[in-house]
Amino acid sequence: MNNDFEQLKERDERSVCHTYGRYPLAAAQAKGTRIYDPTGREYTDLLAGVAVVNLGHCRPELTQVMANQAQKMVHVSNLLYQEEQVACAEKLLSTCGANKVFFCNSGAEANEAAIKLARRYMQKIKNKDAFEIITLEGSFHGRTLATLAATGQDSLKEWFAPMPQGFITVPFDDISALENAISPKTAGVLIELVQGEAGVRPLSPEYVSALARICREKDILCLVDEVQTGMCRTGKFWAHQHFGLKPDIFTSAKALANGLPIGAVLATDEAAKGFEPGTHGCTFGGGPIVCAVASKVMDIMLDKDMAERAKKMGEFALSLFTEVKDEFPDKIHEVRGKGLMLAIELCFPGKDVWSALLDKGFVLNLTQGNVLRLLPPLIIEKQDFTRFAAALREVLGG
């Protein structure tokens, strides 16, 4: 490592809270599917800022929208009507079966707002003393206290006690456990259709179908966390569209403005009755710049059919990774994924493999200690996966 990197690292450690285990890499520039360090070395980005820059880094059309809007209007508050916000909401709603949108700044904020909406709807509109939210083991819904309480990973909650009450976690993909957890206190069930932080674990179609039925029969709300799975990532615009599921409430964030901070809660007209003026808000939510960019993101995604591209590229990648697994059955336990949300689960702790792949110029994520998680920009090319597969073979065979 060069002296410039070491100096930057030291400055970072002196001045920034240590909440991330940073990679041994400094990013100086990024373009398309590539990241460049300060020396100019090129890396293939297979992480997309953790499923954020789905359309690639510094896409010219988005940069132009950003610049134009910054000269027109940056912030006026949600006390005023804004064309950019309304247009963004209309485009979001055109992609799904929801009827109303609430804008905020992040996935955690969106999930927190969804929880508040579900509770207030059940108590104020349905006149039920229902507040409990059921979530699944392995889930990840955010870092605020409420979304952390909802998250089904105890290790992330250590030293943050006491957790907010009203959350029940049940085993993953176990419909009997879900049914047994429902009580008159249940307001809704919050799920990720493909768990990301848990290592890219999709729920079974049978579970999702049963969940929808149970929510209808028990008159409770179905909430879906689409923060990572949405915006064409899994091969549909929204992951719930793979299952024919119609959530009462679902959330979006990460890729919505391709790198600018925005979150959204989408709800049916009925569920949206839970919010009234003064019951929730967000100072920066749905500002003109992020909404203008998000609208352009959706235009590009729909025009270029990025969902179909993610589906086909994901199938190609899984086929390649399966070939590698067949060559190293004692080292790769499983390859799985949906669209361009991909995982290679190793049979052993994966830090050395991940580090070796970074040394070879591939930026990706290691989660759960042994799962290589790939969330590349949706504009990734086949040759990038081919090169990665070759590098993985070399590392595993070394």
What is the pLDDT, as a whole number, of residue 297? 98
Within 10 A of 155 (CB to CB), how many other CB atoms are there? 6
Mean predicted confidence (pLDDT) in 104-114: 98
* Residue where the block lists tokens 């589906």: 311
- State the Cα–Cα distance between residues 344 and 335, nearest whole angstrom: 5
SS3 19: coil
Identify any residues that bridge with 365 across adjacent strands, giving them in sequence order: 373
What is the pLDDT, as a whole number, of residue 331? 98
Within 10 A of 125 (CB to CB), how many other CB atoms are there? 14
Q: pLDDT for 85-95, tens place per residue?
A: 999 999 999 99
Mean predicted confidence (pLDDT) in 7-35: 97
Q: Residue 296 corresponds to which amino acid?
A: K
Mean predicted confidence (pLDDT) in 169-181: 98
Residue 85 φ/ψ region, left for φ over 0, alpha for ψ in the -120 to 50 degree band, beta for the rest: alpha
What is the pLDDT, as a whole number, of residue 2? 75
Tokens for 102, please give them. 């609430």
Which overall architecture, per CATH, does domain 60-303 show?
A: 3-Layer(aba) Sandwich (3.40)
Percent of the chain residues topping a pLDDT of 90: 99
pLDDT at 1 over 80: no
- Domains of the chain by residue range: 60-303
Banded model confidence at residue 229, pLDDT cuts 50, 70, 90: very high
What is the pLDDT, as a whole number, of residue 194? 98
Which residues neighbour 334 within 8 Å (Cβ) at sequence distance 6 or greater?
Answer: 325, 343, 344, 345
Q: pLDDT for 233-291, tens place per residue?
A: 999 999 999 999 999 999 999 999 999 999 999 999 999 999 999 999 999 999 999 99
Q: pLDDT for 319-363, tens place per residue?
A: 999 999 999 999 999 999 999 999 999 999 999 999 999 999 999
- State the Cα–Cα distance between residues 89 and 294, nearest whole angstrom: 10
- State the Cα–Cα distance between residues 377 and 52, nearest whole angstrom: 8
